[in-house]
């Protein structure tokens, strides 16, 4: 398992790719409302990424279980945890949708995910999103040189489980760079002080996937879509970071989304 430490020049390229992903999610935020289809969102994202000189990494991404991914973003609605395929599904008031987006720019990858509310959601679901997002930032605080991967997972698991939520085990965060998925894997559960030592120059995608009910999941016949076994909603937030001593840098951004949400 070779972990690639990035130079400052490479981190700068990673930053640009991830800022583009953040802008893409910000653009989608303008369109996520009742009546829109997930396929329409996919078209907007692909055009936006390509217009900015990048390639949507998810399109035709290989699948160990089946055919390549057919779209530019993953659109996971309500009880879909990850890897939802954009289609003619119409978003309805009260839905949530996790949009996972990746872009390859100048040889380096950006990767980020945000779970959006469609119209007015229930207080129960709103709280799930709030806690999942907070767990991401708690994990990033400890994702510094000298800590371990288990410290990241511990922060997410302990925080989310304290609210009674389920922490998905089968899917993880990951290293990222010239490849979308590089070593090491970053589970959303773990023990402090366990796992790979974090070093300056590592670039990691940290992505809590948290369920309102039981943590168990299953795969749909399309061999991509992952759903909660009990049909309850799931939230998914993801940032790409560069690891440093003391404080790591978040390379992706939710700023544009949060600006729209606050208005």
Q: Is the pLDDT of residue 1 over 80?
A: no
Cβ-contact 236, 98 below 8 angstroms = yes
Residues above pLDDT 90, as percent of the chain:
97
In terms of DSSP bridges, do strands 217-219 and 226-228 run parallel, antiparallel, or are they unpaired? Answer: antiparallel
- Using alpha carbons, select from 254, 256, 249 the residue that is nearest to residue 11: 249
pLDDT at 65: 82
Cβ-contact 82, 61 below 8 angstroms = no
Locus of tokens 């996790």: 98
Locus of tokens 């490479």: 10
Instruction: In whole angstroms, give the CA distance from residue 112 to residue 100.
Output: 6
What are the distances in angstroms from CA 137 to CA 7, 206, 207?
Answer: 24, 9, 10
- pLDDT category at 66 given cuts 50, 70, 90 is confident
Helix (H) or strand (E) holding 242: strand 239-242
User: What percent of the residues of the chain are helix, what percent strand, and what percent coil, each to the nearest 5?
Assistant: 30, 25, 45
pLDDT at 146: 98
pLDDT at 152: 98
Instruction: In whole angstroms, give the CA distance from residue 20 to residue 126.
Output: 27
Cβ-contact 135, 173 below 8 angstroms = no
Cβ-contact 103, 56 below 8 angstroms = yes
Q: Is the pLDDT of residue 144 over 80?
A: yes
Instruction: In whole angstroms, give the CA distance from residue 193 to residue 195.
Output: 7
Q: Is the pLDDT of residue 249 over 80?
A: yes
Averaged pLDDT of the chain? 97
- Using alpha carbons, select from 248, 246, 142, 243 the residue that is nearest to residue 191: 142
Task: Report which DSSP code applies to 30.
Answer: T
Instruction: In whole angstroms, give the CA distance from residue 233 to residue 76.
Output: 10
Please write the tens of the pLDDT for every residue from 193-238: 999 999 999 999 999 999 999 999 999 999 999 999 999 999 999 9
Q: Is the pLDDT of residue 37 over 80?
A: yes
Q: Is the pLDDT of residue 68 over 80?
A: yes
pLDDT at 77: 98
Tell me: cis bond preceding 224? Omega within 30 of 0 counts.
Answer: no
- pLDDT category at 191 given cuts 50, 70, 90 is very high
Q: Is the pLDDT of residue 258 over 80?
A: yes
Tokens representing 216? 């168990």
């Amino acid at each position: 398992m070779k972990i690639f430490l990035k130079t400052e020049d490479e981190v700068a390229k990673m930053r640009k790719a991830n800022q583009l992903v953040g802008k893409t999610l910000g653009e989608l935020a303008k369109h996520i409302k009742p009546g829109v289809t997930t396929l329409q969102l996919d078209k907007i994202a692909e055009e936006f990424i390509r217009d900015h000189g990048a390639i949507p990494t998810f399109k035709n991404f290989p699948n160990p279980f089946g055919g390549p991914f057919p779209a530019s973003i993953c659109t996971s609605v309500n009880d879909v945890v990850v890897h939802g395929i954009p289609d003619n599904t119409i978003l309805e008031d009260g839905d949530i949708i996790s949009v996972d987006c990746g872009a390859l720019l100048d040889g380096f990858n950006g990767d980020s995910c945000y779970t959006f509310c469609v119209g007015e959601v229930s207080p129960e679901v709103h709280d799930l999103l709030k806690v999942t997002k907070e767990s991401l930032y708690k994990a990033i605080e400890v994702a510094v040189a000298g800590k371990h991967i288990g410290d990241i997972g511990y922060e997410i698991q302990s925080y989310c489980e304290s609210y009674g939520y389920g922490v998905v085990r089968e899917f993880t965060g990951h290293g990222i760079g010239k490849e979308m998925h590089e070593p090491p894997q970053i589970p959303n559960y773990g023990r402090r002080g366990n796992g790979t030592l974090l070093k300056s120059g590592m670039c990691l995608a940290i992505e809590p996937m948290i369920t309102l009910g039981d943590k168990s999941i299953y795969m749909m016949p399309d061999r991509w879509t992952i759903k909660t076994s009990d049909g309850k909603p799931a939230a998914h937030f993801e940032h790409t970071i560069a690891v440093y001593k003391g404080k790591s840098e978040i390379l992706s951004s939710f700023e544009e989304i949060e600006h729209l949400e606050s208005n």
